[in-house]
Amino acid sequence: MGILTDDMRRVIDEQRLGFIATVTPDGKPNLSPKGTTTVWDDDHLVFADIASPNTILNLRANPSIEINVVDQTLRKGYRFKGVAEVLGEGERFDAIMQFYRRRGSANPMKHFVLVKVEHAAAVFSPAYDLGRTEAEVTALWERHWDDLRRRRATAREAGDAILTRAATEQRDLTADELAQYQQRVVEQREADDALEAERDRELAVA
């Protein structure tokens, strides 16, 4: 049996986003999100180089790597430490390319990074140390994401109404409309800041 458990596989498959930590040639940390992060087999993770020249450069100089995959709503996940191998051609490269194409990935992919996982551990929010349940943490963050989507939609609608009116009438914004548009932006930003401050207090331990 490999190092990757069924629950680790589940989280990775559901989230489809890994935060990849590497070390630059001059010893500085580098963190990059990779939406192609997935399980290759019982002991390996893999991700694609779509636009990751710095990550590839770092790994060629130092193959040590850590990958974190976390459920952003549940606030639980895993960290994986291991050694990376950069693949740019060959049978394994071709096999991984076919794997991603079957999944529907259409982007050009220059390299693949195959990670031999040597250590895996759970990560979770300190909210659970306070006795909060998964249901409580999930509900808190779902409200946060719902609020964020609502605020974004409200801001778009307010601005779009002004812009659409001018476009329909085939003219530029008047000075008054421009001022109104800018004021809507300011008001929305102030409302967002106030709500964010309130939510930050609520989410501080979530």
Q: With bands split at pLDDT 50, 70 and 90, how would you rate the model's confidence at 2?
A: very high
Domain-wise residue ranges, the chain:
6-124, 129-203
pLDDT tens-digit profile of 82-141?
999 999 999 999 999 999 999 999 999 999 999 999 999 999 999 999 999 999 999 988
State the average pLDDT over residues 188-203: 63
Report the CATH fold assignment for 6-124. Answer: Pnp Oxidase; Chain A (2.30.110)
Query: Model pTM?
Result: 0.76
Q: With bands split at pLDDT 50, 70 and 90, how would you rate the model's confidence at 57?
A: very high
Q: What is the residue-wise DSSP string for 95-132?
A: HHHHHHHHTT--S---EEEEEEEEEEEEEE-GGGGGT-
